[in-house]
Amino acid sequence: MFVNRDKLIHLLQPNHYFNSEFFELEKEKLFKPAWHFVAVLDEIPNHGDYLTKTVCDVPLLIRNHEGEPRVYLNVCGHRHSRITCEKKGNCPVIRCQYHGWEFKENGNTGRIPDANCFRPFDRENTRLKCFPAVLCGRLIFTALSDETPDFDEFMGGRKAVLEEWFDGSEYHFGSRTDYDVEANWKVPVENTLESYHVDHLHAKTIGKHPEEKNQEHDFGQNFSSLYTSEPPTLVRNFQDGLMKCLGVKDITHKYTHHLIYPNIMIIGLDPMTMIQTYVPVSPTSFRWEGIVFVRSATHWTRKWFEAISSPIIKLGAKSVVEEDVPIYSEVQAGLQSSCHPGVVGTIEERIYAFQEYILHECEGREMQGSQKWKSKALISPSVTES
């Protein structure tokens, strides 16, 4: 059941979705102090494997060092070149692409061509800047600010879920899909916070969203969650068939969705788990990054079916996502010309809570409602089985 019986106010105004000053405020207040999901260890499985990406204007080099993830600023201490411009690759030694300076795993400089020219050497100011790297399950997280809270504190109760869903055993790494989208990062977040759009936008892939009696919302200081035990019929039948062939006996029919504020979304279903992030690029653009983990077979005799089910599950997830992604730029275009304040229905109450969080963090506004909802909401993850 939902907490609210009456419609809610759309707290954010259209200009919160394209104003550049507000965007800078969000970067400062929401993203700088956050932990960021940057990669799956399976994407850099061997020593020396690396990938690069930019998170909140910070270019990062994420590298496997003897099985452990390391995260560096992808900028050289010599004359500021990016160390590498490759998206991914393998480097037995971290070496800058410009003059060939080398760096050790701890960021200290290694071999420097014609090193004599740099005497006396300023070791401290030429180190490769290192960021913290936390491995949670197979997921790699980093923090960009010294003021970022401890990882466990930031993730709260959702850390155990991350470990369970993404440790590579029950579910294993399946695929990554990225999209560059012309929309403010909050547009996709709000899209994932309601299943109201399912009946219309996902009619061909998902079908109908579950009835309210089979859904419950849970709210906290830095997250909101949805639990439901009755996925739409089309999905349910499809899932059941796959699960049986994989040897899964405890089919739950549960769909669980957590948003860890500001922008990490995780989903769990019987056949798969997903993590998505919406990385802000500009006030009106973001990068959508989605990782799918697929259900592993329960026994080696079922492994043959895993080879069949895995691409089906990945394709199913992609089809749903590709129904959502085009609507984001449509919403953005509308926001930039809107004469309406917007309205939030009871079925969309997680959006209200998210907007309260945004205004609280960015503008210091008091949290009016959603912090009190927790006591009213049914918070047990097990809801009525249909």
User: Under the rule (CB under 5 A), what is the footprint of Fe ion?
Assistant: 324
Asked if 103 interacts with ligand FES (CB under 6 A), we say no
Query: Taking each helix axis from N to C terminus, what angle separates 233-246 and 303-335, rounded to the nearest 10 degrees?
Result: 150
Asked if 111 interacts with ligand FES (CB under 6 A), we say no
Q: How far is the CB of 44 from ligand FES (least distance, A)?
A: 22
Q: CB under 6 A: which stretch of 40-48, 99-107, 256-264, 374-382 binds ligand FES?
A: 99-107
Per-residue b or e along 166-190, where b marks 16 or more CB atoms closer than 10 Å to that residue's CB = beeeebbbbbebebebebbbbbbbb
CB under 5 to 8 A by kind: which of Fe ion, ligand FES, none does 200 bind? none
148 closest CA partner among 33, 26, 27: 33
CB under 5 to 8 A by kind: which of ligand FES, Fe ion, none does 170 bind? none
Q: How far is the CB of 83 from ligand FES (least distance, A)?
A: 7
Residue 223 · residue 260 · CB < 8 Å: yes
**Cα–Cα distance measured from residue 227 to residue 386, given in angstroms and rounded to the nearest whole number:** 13
Q: How far is the CB of 121 from ligand FES (least distance, A)?
A: 14
Q: How far is the CB of 118 from ligand FES (least distance, A)?
A: 11
According to DSSP, the residues that pair with 278 across neighbouring strands are 288
Asked if 78 interacts with ligand FES (CB under 6 A), we say yes
Q: How far is the CB of 58 from ligand FES (least distance, A)?
A: 18
96/187 with CB nearer ligand FES: 96
Exactly one of 39, 56, 61, 96 binds ligand FES (CB under 6 A); that residue is 96
Residue 141 · residue 163 · CB < 8 Å: no
**Cα–Cα distance measured from residue 241 to residue 233, given in angstroms and rounded to the nearest whole number:** 12
Asked if 76 interacts with ligand FES (CB under 6 A), we say yes
164/324 with CB nearer Fe ion: 324
Q: CB under 6 A: which stretch of 72-80, 114-122, 320-328, 356-364 binds ligand FES?
A: 72-80
Exactly one of 79, 87, 200, 299 binds ligand FES (CB under 6 A); that residue is 79
**Cα–Cα distance measured from residue 108 to residue 103, given in angstroms and rounded to the nearest whole number:** 6
Residue 219 · residue 377 · CB < 8 Å: yes
Asked if 82 interacts with ligand FES (CB under 6 A), we say no
For residue 19, the one-letter residue type is N
CB under 5 to 8 A by kind: which of ligand FES, Fe ion, none does 324 bind? Fe ion
| Structure token pair of residue 310 | 């895995």
CB under 5 to 8 A by kind: which of Fe ion, ligand FES, none does 118 bind? none
Exactly one of 17, 50, 101, 293 binds ligand FES (CB under 6 A); that residue is 101
Exactly one of 24, 27, 57, 98 binds ligand FES (CB under 6 A); that residue is 98
Q: How far is the CB of 324 from ligand FES (least distance, A)?
A: 41
Asked if 94 interacts with ligand FES (CB under 6 A), we say no
Q: How far is the CB of 323 from Fe ion (least distance, A)?
A: 6
314/360 with CB nearer Fe ion: 314
Residue 108 · residue 115 · CB < 8 Å: no
Residue 345 · residue 196 · CB < 8 Å: yes
Q: CB under 6 A: which stretch of 60-68, 95-103, 156-164, 257-265 binds ligand FES?
A: 95-103
Q: How many residues does the chain have?
A: 386
Residue 226 · residue 216 · CB < 8 Å: yes
Asked if 99 interacts with ligand FES (CB under 6 A), we say yes
According to DSSP, the residues that pair with 60 across neighbouring strands are 53, 73
Q: DSSP string spanning 311-379? A: HHHHHHHHHHHHHHHHHHHHHHHHHTT-----EE-GGGHHHHHHHHHHHHHHH-----SHHHHHHHS--
Q: Which residues contact ligand FES (rule: CB under 6 A)?
A: 76, 78-79, 81, 96, 98-101
